[in-house]
Amino acid sequence: MNNKRSKWPAAQHLQQAADHLRTLDLNLHPDLQDYCVPVANWLDKTANEMAWLAPFRDHEGGYHPWRNATRIAHGVLGLPDPDTCTACHTHNRKAAS
């Protein structure tokens, strides 16, 4: 696990997914297990480097990497639509209220 973890709320799902990917899933095909740690490391790195800038708008440079990371994290965690998640995309909090 990465010792440096982001304290920004937007990083929450990315870090949870990274932790989940680092736990061995005995039901996962062995060829796919090789991808878990690198993807977990990428999610942690993305959370650490980008969460403080979230929310991103579609015209900003960080929008696509952040959207991809949140979609992967939500898929790993089995969470619903990441594009409307008020944790990952903090600008949605106003709309959800």
The per-residue pLDDT for 59 is 86
**For residue 71, is pLDDT > 90?**
yes
Which pLDDT band holds residue 72 (cuts at 50, 70, 90)?
A: very high
The per-residue pLDDT for 39 is 94
For residue 88, give the nearest of 37, 78, 74 by alpha carbon.
74
pLDDT single digits (tens) 7-62: 888 899 999 999 999 887 777 787 888 889 899 999 999 999 998 887 788 888 88
Q: Is 24 helix (H, G, I), strand (E, B) or coil?
A: coil
Tell me the percentage of the chain whose pLDDT exceeds 70. Answer: 89
In this prediction the pTM is 0.82
Residue 71 tokens read as 């979609």
The per-residue pLDDT for 92 is 52
Give the type of residue at 38.
P
Annotate 37-91 with three-state secondary structure: HHHHHHHHHHHHHHHHHCCCCCCCCCHHHHHHHHHHHHHHHCCCCHHHCCCCCCC
